[in-house]
Homo-oligomer: A and B are copies of this chain.
Amino acid sequence: MDRWIQIFTCGGTIDKVYFDAMSEYQVGQPQVQDILQLAKVTIPYQINSLLRKDSLDIDDSDREMIRKAVETCSATRILITHGTDQMADTARCLHGISGKTVVLTGAHSPALFVGSDAQFNIGCALGAVQSLPEGVYIAMNGNVFLGDKAKKNRSQSRFESSDS
């Protein structure tokens, strides 16, 4: 069965939680598992946490590690949750891995916030990763972009085509 999904989590806004005891806000446990369970997802998947960082803090060696994880995992369909600020950079770094469909997603607002886009975005990425041919993609704001054709518009908190 080639339709099982490997999910790699890399931190980012989607996983940010609030710790009252410290009056602060940190990248916490990956939220994707709770989201998939709430939606009673029946397609087989496996989740591995690669990083727990704000995406502003992701560097080239992190990206190399992510690329290696994608190349060496046995799945052909891979969903990656990632901070939004450097998602496009990581997508470019994954370019050219053959035989695999990779979809990156994340959220502009933490999954635990009322009205977060996290549930929607994970759903969108999961629908896309099952349906697309090999390649690297970004699923954000309801749009499935080619991985090297998207950029974050920071002031609008949304992704846009990098051609426009």
The A interface, classified by DSSP as helix, strand, loop or mixed, is mixed
Query: Is the CB of A43 closer than 8 A to any CB of chain B?
Result: yes
Query: Is the CB of A72 closer than 8 A to any CB of chain B?
Result: no
| Contact status of A20 and B157, CB under 8 A, knowing A43-B143, A114-B114, A131-B144 | yes
Q: Cβ of A20 and Cβ of B13 under 8 Å apart?
A: yes
Q: Cβ of A38 and Cβ of B117 under 8 Å apart?
A: yes
How many A residues touch B, CB cutoff 8 Å?
56
Q: Cβ of A142 and Cβ of B39 under 8 Å apart?
A: yes
Q: Cβ of A124 and Cβ of B121 under 8 Å apart?
A: no
Complex Cα gap A18–B114 (Å): 11
Instruction: Render A132-164 as a binary contact track against B, CB cut-off 8 A, 1 for contact.
Output: 100000010111100000000011011110000
Query: Is the CB of A115 closer than 8 A to any CB of chain B?
Result: yes
CB interface residues, A 72-111, toward B, < 8 Å:
83-85, 103, 108-110
Query: Is the CB of A130 closer than 8 A to any CB of chain B?
Result: yes
Q: Cβ of B36 and Cβ of A142 under 8 Å apart?
A: yes
Complex Cα gap A84–B13 (Å): 25
In the complex, the 8 A-B pairs of residues with the closest C-beta atoms, listed nearest first? A123-B123, A127-B127, A41-B142, A131-B131, A127-B128, A124-B127, A120-B123, A123-B124
